[in-house]
């Protein structure tokens, strides 16, 4: 295994790639924005000649690279990307791909607020440009080690997530499992590898004394776990995750995000994520798997 760690950052225009690469630069990565994919091998070769002074690099690969191809050969951008990434891995390089995704309404709002034009919608509709960009970048998204949904994140939260990912990555070979609670009312999280729906459980929102509390409050926890269905769900989810983890590890996946959703993301999903984390903690420690917990919509009304 070659010593240089390489993180490729890709994603939709307006999804936060500039914030991401600055976050990596702040923790010692040598960063390059918009390096053509065909030049990546030569760039890494030059980094190797630094005598060890450059040991971790981050490169932004996005739609600017795709549109440099003739419209008839846009598929070549994805084929070239896959070929180059595969070749680098075969030569022992550690290549990780982070893909930043964002919901269409949020992207449209961001472009409207900044009065910028989407690179694929010059003189046209922003939504059309976003849709075209999704199509062009789908192949890169499919290669990603981790997809990060930035729809609900501010720049500080995104920076924290990016830096935590990079720092955890020092422990090569270790898998990171993220349990994420969310509310369907606020949209499906793009970064989820798997989603579990707990809207079938009794809803504390309709209990006057519990409505204003959050899923980490003892009264809400007691109410939700009183249900036999909740206890059965936890048992089966625990077994399901235990079954899946070694299979994902075998395929070389280093980050797995399991999202559990309820209607608003403030009660049932939080209870289920927290309790499932408690159940998994000991087993994951033995397997040296890093466990993260995130409650996306906990503070929303």
What CATH number does residue 106 fall under? Answer: 3.40.50.300
Has this prediction a pTM greater than 0.85? no
Does residue 35 form part of some domain?
yes
Does residue 27 form part of some domain?
yes
Strand partners, 294: 180
Q: What per-residue confidence (pLDDT) applies to 87?
A: 87
Question: Whole-angstrom Cα distance, residue 144 to residue 8?
Answer: 9
Query: Is the same domain home to 142 and 284?
Result: no
Question: Whole-angstrom Cα distance, residue 132 to residue 151?
Answer: 19
What's the token pair of residue 18?
């500039």
Question: Whole-angstrom Cα distance, residue 297 to residue 301?
Answer: 9
Query: Is the same domain home to 38 and 115?
Result: yes
Query: Is the same domain home to 135 and 229?
Result: no
Query: Is the same domain home to 162 and 204?
Result: no
275, 201 Cβ separation under 8 angstroms: no
Query: Is the same domain home to 230 and 278?
Result: yes
What's the token pair of residue 259?
């999202």
Does residue 300 form part of some domain?
no
Question: Whole-angstrom Cα distance, residue 267 to residue 261?
Answer: 10
Q: What per-residue confidence (pLDDT) applies to 300?
A: 85
Q: Phi and psi of 295, rounded to 5°? A: -110, 95
Query: Is the same domain home to 10 and 129?
Result: yes
Query: Is the same domain home to 239 and 203?
Result: yes
- Give me the number of domains the chain comprises: 2
First to last CA, the chain: 49
Query: Is the same domain home to 106 and 193?
Result: no
Query: Is the same domain home to 158 and 13?
Result: yes
What's the token pair of residue 152?
């609900």
Does residue 193 form part of some domain?
yes
Q: What per-residue confidence (pLDDT) applies to 75?
A: 64
Domain edge (last residue) among 143, 168, 193 = 168
Question: Whole-angstrom Cα distance, residue 212 to residue 209?
Answer: 7
Query: Is the same domain home to 181 and 164?
Result: no
Count CB atoms within 10 A of the CB of residue 173: 8
Domain edge (last residue) among 134, 168, 202 = 168
Count CB atoms within 10 A of the CB of residue 134: 14
Does residue 301 form part of some domain?
no
Give the range of the structural domain holding residue 238, as residue numbers without chain letter: 176-295
Query: Is the same domain home to 214 and 263?
Result: yes
Does residue 213 form part of some domain?
yes
266, 300 Cβ separation under 8 angstroms: yes
Does residue 83 form part of some domain?
yes
**Residues in the chain, overall count:** 301
Going from the first residue of the chain to its last (301 residues), give the mean pLDDT of each consecutive group of 10, the final group possibly shorter.
Answer: 82 91 93 87 88 88 65 66 85 87 88 76 77 84 86 90 80 77 92 94 95 95 96 96 89 85 96 96 84 90 68
Q: What per-residue confidence (pLDDT) applies to 54?
A: 87
Q: Which residues, 6+ apart, have CB-to-CB distance to 166 below 8 Å?
A: 7, 23, 24, 27, 29
Domain edge (last residue) among 146, 168, 190 = 168
Q: What per-residue confidence (pLDDT) applies to 117?
A: 75
Does residue 23 form part of some domain?
yes
Query: Is the same domain home to 140 and 63?
Result: yes
Rama region for 116: left / alpha / beta (φ>0; ψ in -120 to 50; rest): beta
């Amino acid at each position: 295994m070659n010593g240089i760690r390489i993180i490729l950052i890709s994603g939709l225009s307006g999804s936060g790639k500039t914030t991401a690469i600055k976050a990596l630069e702040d923790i010692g990565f040598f960063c390059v924005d918009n390096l053509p994919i065909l030049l990546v091998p030569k760039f890494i070769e030059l980094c190797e000649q630094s005598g060890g002074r450059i040991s971790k690099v981050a490169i932004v690969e996005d739609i600017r690279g795709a549109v440099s191809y003739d419209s008839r050969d846009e598929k070549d951008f994805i084929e070239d990307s896959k070929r180059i990434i595969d070749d680098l891995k075969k030569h022992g390089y550690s290549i990780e791909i982070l893909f930043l995704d964002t919901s269409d309404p949020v992207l449209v709002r961001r472009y409207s607020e900044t009065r910028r034009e989407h690179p694929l919608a010059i003189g046209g509709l922003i939504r059309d440009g976003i849709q075209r960009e999704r199509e062009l970048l789908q192949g890169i998204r499919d290669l990603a080690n981790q997809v990060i949904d930035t729809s609900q994140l501010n720049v500080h939260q995104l920076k924290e997530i990016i830096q935590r990912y990079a720092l955890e990555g020092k422990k090569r070979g270790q898998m990171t499992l993220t349990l994420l609670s969310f509310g369907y009312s606020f949209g499906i999280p793009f970064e989820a590898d798997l989603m579990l729906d707990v809207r079938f459980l009794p809803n504390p929102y309709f209990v006057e004394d519990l409505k204003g509390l959050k899923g980490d409050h003892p009264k809400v926890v007691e109410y939700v776990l009183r249900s036999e269905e909740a206890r059965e769900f936890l048992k089966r989810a625990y077994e399901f995750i235990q079954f899946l983890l070694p299979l994902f590890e075998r395929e070389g996946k280093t980050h797995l995000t399991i999202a559990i959703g309820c209607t608003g993301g403030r009660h049932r999903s939080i209870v289920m994520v927290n309790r499932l984390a408690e159940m998994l903690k000991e087993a994951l420690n033995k397997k040296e798997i890093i466990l993260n917990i995130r409650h996306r919509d906990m503070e929303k009304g």
